[in-house]
Amino acid sequence: MLGAQETQTLLPLTEIGQRNPFRIQLTNVAGSVARSELAISWSDVTLQNFERLSVLTQKAETEGGLQITGELRNDHGVPLSDIVVVVTFYDAAGEVLDVSTGSVSPSALSPGESGAYTIVVPNLVDYTSFGVQAQGTSGIR
């Protein structure tokens, strides 16, 4: 074994059929990696309710580095807080190239309220497409 690492997904809740980005970064790798394995574990129990936010717009801006900006909306009947916004970059074959997280303003949204998000992408990748997802918590169960 060359190394082992543990990480969490970038969105707190993964629904059935939903893609949930994560990052594992290998450091001090001598030569190339011949094989990798991924073991997944999860919990069916959570004390918080997580809801997806509607991504109304998403735009890539390249002035001064890559930023993904846009607007989110809370389409649920309860306020959402602790909002997480994530962008996933894909190549032409649909394979994941990179992921980044960003910030939302305001950080909590009332029912029907919209907010702006900004994701500053530290590593410029040659991508074909990208997708933005966001989740927030509606409180404790």
Residue-by-residue DSSP string for 57-123:
EEEEE-TTS-EEEEEEE--SSS-BEEEEEEEEEE-TTS-EEEEEEEEEESSSB-TT-EEEEEEE-SS
Residue 82 has pLDDT above 50, yes or no: yes
CB 68 within 8 A of CB 95: no
Q: How far is CA 129 from the centre of its chain?
A: 15
> What tokens were used for 81?
């807080």
Rg (CA), the chain: 17
96 in a structural domain: yes
Residue 85 has pLDDT above 60, yes or no: yes
The stretch 103-115 carries a mean pLDDT of 96
pTM for the complete prediction? 0.75
89 in a structural domain: yes
Residue 8: the pLDDT is 58
* ∠ Cα 30 100 36 (to 5°): 35
Strand (E) or helix (H) holding 129: strand 129-140
- Give the pLDDT confidence of 20-66 residue by residue, as tens digits: 666 666 666 666 666 666 666 666 656 678 889 999 999 999 888 89
Residue 137 has pLDDT above 70, yes or no: yes
Residue 48: the pLDDT is 73
Asked if residue 106 has a cis previous peptide bond (ω within 30° of 0), the answer is yes
9 in a structural domain: no
> What tokens were used for 44?
């069916």
Residue 98 has pLDDT above 60, yes or no: yes
18 in a structural domain: no
Q: Domains in the chain: how many in total?
A: 1
Other C-beta atoms closer than 10 Å to the C-beta of 102 total 19
126 in a structural domain: yes
Q: Which residues pair with 134 in a beta bridge?
A: 85
38 in a structural domain: no
Query: Per-residue confidence at 1, pLDDT binned at 50, 70, 90?
Result: very low
Domain that includes residue 121, residue range: 48-140
42 in a structural domain: no
